[in-house]
Structure 1
Amino acid sequence: MKDSKKISRRKFMGQASCAAVGTLSLYSSVFNLGMANALATPNQDDDYKALVCVLLAGGNDSFNMLAPTNGHFYNDYKNTRANLALANNQLRKINFRDNDGRQFGLHPAMSDIQKLFNDKKIAMISNVGTLVEPITKSDYLNRSKRLPLGLLSHADQVMHWQTSMPHSRSARGWAGRIADIMNTQNENDRISMNISLSGSNIFQAGNKTHQYAIRSSERNGSVGIAPFESGEWYDKPLRKGIDSLLSQQYGNVFKQTFAQKTKTAHDNHEEFSQALEENGRISTNFGDSQFEQDMKMVARTVAARKKLGMKRQVFFVLYGGWDHHDNVLASQQEMLSTVSKGFGQFDKAMRELGTDNNVTTFLTSDFGRTLTSNGNGTDHAWGGNVMVMGGAVNGGRVYGKYPDIKLKSQFEVGGGIFVPTLSTDEYFAELSLWFGVAPSELETILPNLSNFHNVRSGDLPIGFMKKA
């Protein structure tokens, strides 16, 4: 056997630990979830819904992603953004006018998003941000209301977008809390309903659940133990030896727990890989970028949903590199093009699978960025714009109160920073209700929601999702 094929005890432990990241064993083997909360809305046998969270990590400059195009609205935008303003004839026009008479255009790199918006498959939501309670410009300047901890900080704000608990630094995410309630609705309790394409994250971590981590670079997503993956004859003795080690009973608690966890991870890997090999085929072509390939792997996992025994799934895809303190125009031209193509390809894949009404994709980011230029880029801010895609979306509209893009305006608090007019709680509550969370459970998932929305009203917080 060549040296390159040898595996040390330490290397095996490392590979086995990596594989174990992808298991939900904590859900079924550490906790007894047979009595999981029954208040989640029951689903039908043929029912399937999935949420796909796309995090643009670093803070997307979203007021160039969605910009005004007409009259004084565009002139204010141009004057305030100065050298960062996009030319009016470059903006991709969308068929919508808000109540103030404002018309909009999308970033020139977002041709797929433009078509999806005009086809009413995408909705834009304006000036969303982390909030503990409703706040005005005066409240902010006078510090008379509670503010999110670590405002303008990457570490805190990206955490708060994942937890929707900006009053604390929580290690549990709102999708994790959903999974704590709803995971038992799936036929398969071995693999989590929360699937991550970006490793461990707060968003999908619950009190009883963790994400199942996969990679688009793996043939069928799941990460296994190397000797079992090679299929080479010279690894056969090693595979046999590992099987023997994992099947033994150990007197030492740590050894026994490690062996059990590793075996469970390996079994789950085999199950997931086989499901995607047999049922995870799609014909839609995806680009070669990491983001597009991640979206392809999400689509393949959706294709294998029945084989995996899934009725509910939440996916997490992180696309990093959005902290554009400089070179924002060139960077966004490339990166928003990738986002647009990835969304367009994913929509085609969902239509191919007949699941476009069952899967909703939504955008998040750390925060918006300053309206004003720092020379060649922008700095950390607060409120920003996001988008939601899917057949269940009331698309073709811009929701929320899009602010006037000028300094000293109603929501601008200095330095080109906007106070959000919609909270992440309202945004996520509407997604949760569509997903099947019972109204009575919303405040468990989103503890500050009652500060913004009466959950007993029967109304949707914003209105961008179609009522079931």
Structure 2
Amino acid sequence: MSTKFLNRRDFMGQANCALISALPIMNTLLNLRLAGSAAAQNGPGDYKALVCLFLSGGNDSFNMLAPRGAAYQEYANIRQSIALPENQLLPINPTVDPGRPLGLHPALPGLQSLFESGKLAFVANVGTLVEHVTKNQYNAGQKLPLGLFSHSDQIEQWQTSIPDNRSGIGWGGRMADLLKSLNTENRFSMNISLDGSNVWQAGNTIAEYAIRETGADSMTGYNSAYIAGQSLTQIRSAALDSQMALEYQNIFQKSFAKSKKDATAAYDAFTAATTVTLPASVTWPSSRLADQLKMVAKTIAGRGNLGQRRNTFFINYGGFDHHSGLIANQAAMLPIVNDAVKAFYDTLVALGAENEVVLYSASDFGRTLTSNSQGSDHAWGGNQFVLGGQVKGKRIYGTYPDLYQDSLLDVGRGRLIPTTSVDEFFAEMALWLGVAKTDLPLVLPNISRFFNTTGSTPPVGFLL
């Protein structure tokens, strides 16, 4: 496959159209080579997909992954009324000692089994960072992400990996700009969203292809092939075809008509490729999240007919802003995550695709370790999980922090300075998907502040 290069003028034009306004980032990108870097690293028939499960609202992840044993009292002392009873925590046995015994929220037995089988890992105390920062620098207002503790700002930064500038371009989109040439089918994007428009998948030259948990979006009742015996479908389809066939005088109308025809053609192709029967050996739970992950599984099952070697998928499961009712709300919501993720991975195994897919969790931010009496408030560093056949699981990556009040990382109320940056977290997955180390700054403009792209060590180490 040939490698495509964009010259400075082409890339400037694309970036202007995408409304990137951060000049330092623009200069960085313009001075780097934009290359289809995956072509040299992977064989012609390989397939890889990255799934982002965004738990919006700010999941309280220190109740998702909590201390046990000798470290439990430290956790209980600071969490008070929102601490889980130690005997309810599901024990895990990491192959590398994280410095204290840990357990999972009692609603996560599926994640526990995936962890123990070596297919799931946690990355501890990860968050948005401009640079590594000390408590004194925080108190002086130095090196801090824009809008720290703000939902909208931190969601944007988790999806752009640019905490020191505003951007509408996501790191998943920038990654797709590099890798999209690996896909032979261009009627729909490499980036597929189950939650409509999002920043993560917006690139300079690419946007997301939005689908629903029932399949691709299109005009209701349209089928370009006309199904025999379905007169209502035929009437609707004929009417739409007639409208699209008109000889419009206005150039915008002509363009719009062509776009509609292209959209319906893409719909037909996508629907045909993803109309598959998943293995009956896996029982899927009943939830919207499960339906979304089931649709992702169907898309992956149809990968051979889609003409794509790389995909990203975006799923959003919201409602984690638990300022009150934390214990009850997590007890209701985390089983939905647990059951859907477990069914998804089991389906990948049944399809023989578990080594081709990585799923990771993300959220706005961690939450305060201290309680406001009913829940927890906005904070900074938190814990995330990553799942896949090529994940070096049964380990806690990064540094699980001390949880006592006023520790070196506690900037107030148990708001913890992250010890692993989102850049490092994301770089691990970008490299796995096929981005070359030398091209990482195109995807993650701040990566050199945290990771030596010319070295031999991985950013975090959780992928084979």
Relative to the length of structure 2, the TM-score reads 0.89
Counterpart mapping for 1:164-243 below 5 A: 164-216=161-213, 218=214, 221-228=215-222, 232-243=230-241
- Distance in 2 between the 1:124 and 1:52 partners? 16
Residue 248 of structure 1: how far off its partner (Å): 2.8
Aligned to 1:19: none
Q: For residues 234 and 304 of structure 1, what CA distance do their matches in structure 2 show?
A: 29
Counterpart contact for 1:370–1:381, Cα < 8 Å: yes
- Written as runs of structure 1 = structure 2, the 5 A alignment for 1:53-68 is 53-68=52-67
Name the SS for the 2:122 alignment partner. Answer: strand
Instruction: Measure, in 2, the Cα distance between the counterparts of 1:100 and 1:406.
Output: 17
Distance in 1 (alpha carbons) for counterparts of 2:250 and 2:99: 71
* Native 8 Å contact 1:97 1:104 kept in 2: no
Q: How far apart are 1:293 and its partner, in Å?
A: 0.8
- Pick which of 158-167 and 237-246 moved more: 237-246
* CA pair 253-411 structure 1, distance change in 2 beyond 3 A: same
Local SS of the residue matching 1:319: strand
Q: State the match for 1:16 in structure 2.
A: none
| 1:10-29 CA-partner distances (Å, limit 9, x unpaired) | xxxxxxxxxxxxxxxxx9xx
Q: Separation in 2 of the partners of 1:271 and 1:286?
A: 26
Q: Kindly tell me: are residues 120 and 354 of structure 1, through their superposed partners in 2, closer, same or farther at Cα, counting changes over 3 Å?
A: same
2:160 to 154, 157, 163: 163
Amino acid at match of 2:290: E
Listed one character per residue, the Cα deviations across residues 206-227 of structure 1 (whole Å, up to 9, x for unaligned) are: 01000111111x2xx0112113
Q: SS at 2:124's partner residue?
A: strand
Q: Identify unmatched segments of 5+ residues in structure 1.
A: 1-26
- Which residue is 1:301 aligned to? 299
Instruction: Tell me if the contact between 2:95 and 2:394 (Cα under 8 Å) persists in the aligned partners.
Output: no
Q: 1:235 to 1:302 in 2, by over 3 A?
A: closer
Q: Is this contact kept in 2: 1:127–1:385, CA < 8 A?
A: yes
Change in CA separation of 1:100 and 1:206 when aligned onto 2, cut-off 3 Å: closer
Distance 1:113 1:238, change over 3 A: closer
CA contact (8 A) 1:83 1:373 kept: yes
- Tell me, in whole angstroms, the C-alpha distance in 1 between the residues paired with 2:335 and 2:58: 17
52-61 or 188-197, larger mean C-alpha shift: 188-197
**Partner Cα separation in structure 2 for residue 461 and residue 80 of structure 1:** 31
Match of residue 316 from structure 2: 318
- CA positional deviation for 1:274: 1.0
Match of 1:148 among 138, 145, 149: 145
1:329-348 mapped onto 2 (5 Å cutoff): 329-348=327-346
RMSD of aligned alpha carbons: 1.8
Q: Which one is further off, 361-370 or 241-250?
A: 241-250
Kept in 1, the 8 Å contact 2:146–2:165? The answer is yes
1:245, CA displacement in angstroms?
A: 1.6
Residues 1:225 and 1:100: Cα distance change in structure 2 (over 3 Å): closer
Percent identical pairs in the alignment equals 45
CA displacement 1:117-141 (0-9 Å, x = unmatched): 0101000010000011111112211
Contact 2:244 2:257 in 1 (8 A): yes
Q: Measure the CA separation in 2 of the matches of 1:91 and 1:64.
A: 9
- Checking the alignment, whether the CA contact within 8 Å between 1:64 and 1:107 is kept in structure 2 is yes
Shift of residue 45 of structure 1?
Answer: 2.7
Change (3 A) 1:99 1:235: closer
| 1:392 alignment counterpart | 390
Measure, in 1, the Cα distance between the counterparts of 2:81 and 2:330.
14
CA contact (8 A) 2:98 2:399 kept: no
> 1:428-455: per-residue Cα shift (whole Å, max 9, x none)?
0000011111111100100000001101
With over 3 angstroms needed to count, the CA separation of the structure-2 counterparts of 1:304 and 1:280, relative to structure 1, is farther
Residue type of the alignment partner of 1:362:
Y
Q: Quick one: which amino acid aligns to residue 373 of structure 1?
A: S
CA contact (8 A) 1:280 1:304 kept: no
For the residues of structure 1 that align with 2:110 and 2:462, how far apart are their CA atoms?
Answer: 20
SS at structure 1 position matched to 2:60: coil
TM-score, structure 1 normalization: 0.89
Q: CA 1:97 to 1:91, structure 2 compared with 1: closer, same or farther past 3 Å?
A: farther
Deviations 1:371-414 (A, max 9, x none): 01111111000000000000100100111111111111121111
Q: Is the 8 A contact 2:104 2:112 kept in 1?
A: yes
Equivalences for 1:267-282 in 2 at 5 Å? Answer: 267-277=265-275, 279=276, 281-282=278-279
**Count, aligned residues:** 429
> How far apart, in 2, do the equivalents of 1:307 and 1:207 lie?
27
Matched position secondary structure for 1:179: helix
CA contact (8 A) 1:40 1:441 kept: no
2:34, 2:439 within 8 Å by CA — same for their partners in 1? no
Answering whether residue 44 of structure 2 is matched by residue 50 of structure 1, we say no
Stretch deviating more after TM superposition (365-374 or 42-51) = 42-51
CA distance in 1 between counterparts of 2:49 and 2:133 reads 32
* Whole-angstrom distance in 1 between the partners of 2:277 and 2:188: 16
CA distance in 1, matches of 2:183, 2:277: 18
In the alignment, which residue of structure 2 is the partner of 1:108? 106
Deviation, 1:242, is 1.3
Deviates more, 1:90-99 or 1:227-236: 227-236
